[in-house]
Chains A and B, each alone.
Chain A
Amino acid sequence: AQTVTQSQPEMSVQEAETVTLSCTYDTSESDYYLFWYKQPPSRQMILVIRQEAYKQQNATENRFSVNFQKAAKSFSLKISDSQLGDAAMYFCAYRSSGAGSYQLTFGKGTKLSVIP
């Protein structure tokens, strides 16, 4: 079974600075998807960024980028120019790409605080 580990329960960053959230995962599969979700106090789960394992290029979405290290099974999220609205819980998630695969496996989350 796949597992996702987020080793930082809480992080803080100064507004306008850069922060990196860590995520590692365990799988025996070669093809899969990795996701970062943001959960603000409203509880809405918002997809931040997605990475397909067969793509070597790291995904980027505006101020959000990932460092995907397939061999190390590491998938960290970098937030540049942090804004107050970035304060939220961030969840790393894994999904297999095999036939019949649809379950997302989530880590326990990292609570990010942004200091004005």
Chain B
Amino acid sequence: NAGVMQNPRHLVRRRGQEARLRCSPMKGHSHVYWYRQLPEEGLKFMVYLQKENIIDESGMPKERFSAEFPKEGPSILRIQQVVRGDSAAYFCASSLTGRHTEAFFGQGTRLTVV
């Protein structure tokens, strides 16, 4: 049973480009969470999605960031017009239910904006 799969592991983008980060949850999991880890910091919640629905995006920056979890395919975190401050590790986690006692994390995508 594969775990949470994130790709790419590393992504380099120039300022102004778009970054698309993908997350395939564990088999059978329909709840996905995105977290961001800035250097020397813990993970910070960004958004919680179920299939085709955004449940809570209170941690998402108001502009340039969006997330989706379509009926088919992986969840996508999209960052438009990236800036240097977007450089971070982005983690996806999934759970079987929304009231989970354990969310399983992927290995993260390290985004570097040059």
Contact = CB atoms under 8 A, between A and B. Distances in A.
B103 A104 contact: yes
Contact of A102 (B48, B91, B106): B48
Interface string A27-64: 00000010001000011111100101000000000000
B91 to A, nearest CB: 6
Given A42-B107, A102-B33, A102-B48, A47 B102 contact: yes
A103 B48 contact: yes
B43 A104 contact: yes
Interface residues of A, number: 25
Interface stretch (B17-25, B76-84, B93-101): B93-101
Contacts of B43: 45, 91, 104, 106
B63 interface: no
Contacts of B44: 106
A71 B60 CA distance: 33
A46 B110 CA distance: 17
B89 A43 contact: yes
B65 interface: no
Interface of B: 31, 33, 35, 40-45, 48, 56, 59, 89, 91, 93, 95, 98-108, 110
Given A4-B42, A106-B43, A109-B41, 4 more contacts: A45-B93, A91-B43, A103-B45, A104-B43
